[in-house]
Amino acid sequence: MGESMTWVQALILGLVQGLTEFLPISSSAHMRIVSAVFFGDDAGASFTAVTQLGTEAAVLVYFAKDIWRILVAWFTTMSWKVTGREPVRVPLSEQPTTQLPVYRDDIPGGYVLDEDSQRELDYRIGWYVIIATIPIGVIGFLLKDQIRTGARNLWLVSTMLILFALVIAAAEYYGSKRRPIEQLTTRDGIIMGLSQCLALIPGVSRSGATSSAGLFIGLTREAAVRFSFLLAIPAVLASGLFSLPDAFEPAGEGLNASGMQILVATVISFLVGYASVAWLLRFVTKHSLDWFVGYRILLGVTVMALLATGVVSAT
C-alpha cells in the first residue's frame, strides 16, 4: 500500500485532469508525470480513471443536445425497424413541398440538414459509437492489470509522448481535411475505434489517437475532434465506474485517496474540463493540432532527462 494522498495533491491532480483530458497531450501521462515529479509517487491508474468521470460529465453536459438527439434518433429508428413501422419515404419528385439542405456560409459545413437527414445522421453516429467502443472494451478488460502497472513506466510514457507527437504531425500534414461529419461511415468509425485502443498506453492521448485517425481518413479537424469526444463517452464512463472500487486501494504502489478527495478532484476536473472542451472545439476550427506537437516532444525529452539523471524513478 502506498502513502495517503494529501488534499493539495488531490486538488492539483483534479486540475491537471481537467486541463489535459481533451487536449491531444495525454491526461494519463500528465497525471503520472505530475505525481512522480512533485509528489514522488504515482496517483494510480484507478484514481486517474475515476477522475476522468468528471471530464466525461463535462462532455455530457456540453454535448447534451447532440447526445439526446442521437439517442432519440437511434431508439426511434430501431423501433421502426423492429416493428416494421418505418415511415414510407416519398420520392422528392412526388412531394408537394420539399425541405432540402439549405446552404449557409456562417456555419461549419456550409449547410443545414433537414429533419429526416439529421435523424438518419444521428442514427448512424449512434451505431458508429457503439461499434467503435467494442475494441477498447475488450482490450481494456484483457489488459487491465498491465495498464495499471507496467504501462505506467515513465520511460514508456515519455517515449509515447514523443512518438505520437510525430503521428499527430503526420496526420496534419497528410490528411486532406475535407470531409465533414455528415460523411462519416462505418469504416471511419471502426478505424477511429481501433485507434482509441492506443489510448490505453499513457502518453498516447485518447483525443490525439482518435483525432489523428480522423485526419488520416480525410475528416475535417472539427469533425474528427467532435466524433472523438462522442466516442470517448462510453469507454471512459465504463472505465471510471469499473475502477471506482480500486481507487481506494490502488493495485501495487500508489497514493491512497479518500472518498471525499476523489469526489472533489472529480468535481474540479468537471469544471475545468468543460472550459477545456469548449476552448478546443473553437481552437481547431482555425488552428492546427501541430501546436501540441512541440509541447509533447519537449515534455517527453524533459521526462527522459529527469529519468536519466535519477531525479525521478521510472516506476
pLDDT, one tens digit per residue, over 152-189 is 899 999 999 999 999 999 999 999 999 988 889 999 99
Assigned C-alpha cell, 62:
456540453
Average pLDDT over residues 229-258: 74
- Burial of residue 203 (number of CB atoms within 10 Å: 0-12, 13-18, 19+): buried
CA 203 to chain centre: 13
Residue corresponding to grid cell 501521462: 29
Each residue's pLDDT tens digit, 121-150: 899 999 999 999 999 989 988 887 777 666
Q: Is the pLDDT of residue 269 over 70?
A: yes
pLDDT-derived band of residue 266, with 50, 70 and 90 as boundaries?
very high
pLDDT-derived band of residue 96, with 50, 70 and 90 as boundaries?
very low
Q: Is the pLDDT of residue 102 over 50?
A: no
Average pLDDT score over the chain: 85
Question: In this structure, which amino acid lies at residue 113?
Answer: L
From the list 96, 84, 140, 91, the residue with the least C-alpha distance to 116 is 91
CA 17/CA 12 separation, integer angstroms: 9
Q: Is the pLDDT of residue 46 over 60?
A: yes
Assigned C-alpha cell, 249:
486501494
Whole-Å CA distances, 168 to 28, 207, 294: 18, 11, 11
- Burial of residue 93 (number of CB atoms within 10 Å: 0-12, 13-18, 19+): exposed
pLDDT-derived band of residue 268, with 50, 70 and 90 as boundaries?
very high
Each residue's pLDDT tens digit, 280-305: 989 998 899 999 999 999 999 999 99
The pLDDT value recorded for residue 142 is 85
Question: In this structure, which amino acid lies at residue 136?
Answer: I
Helix axes 154-174 and 290-308, enclosed angle (nearest 10): 160
Is-contact 55 18, C-beta < 8 A? yes
Q: Is the pLDDT of residue 107 over 60?
A: no
Average pLDDT over residues 106-120: 64
Q: Is the pLDDT of residue 190 over 80?
A: yes
Greatest C-alpha distance within the chain: 76
Average pLDDT over residues 249-257: 63
**CB atoms < 10 A from the CB of 111, how many?**
16
CA 194/CA 188 separation, integer angstroms: 10
Give the residue, 191 or 238, on which the prediction is more confident: 191
The pLDDT value recorded for residue 112 is 55
Average pLDDT over residues 30-48: 84
Q: Is the pLDDT of residue 91 over 60?
A: no
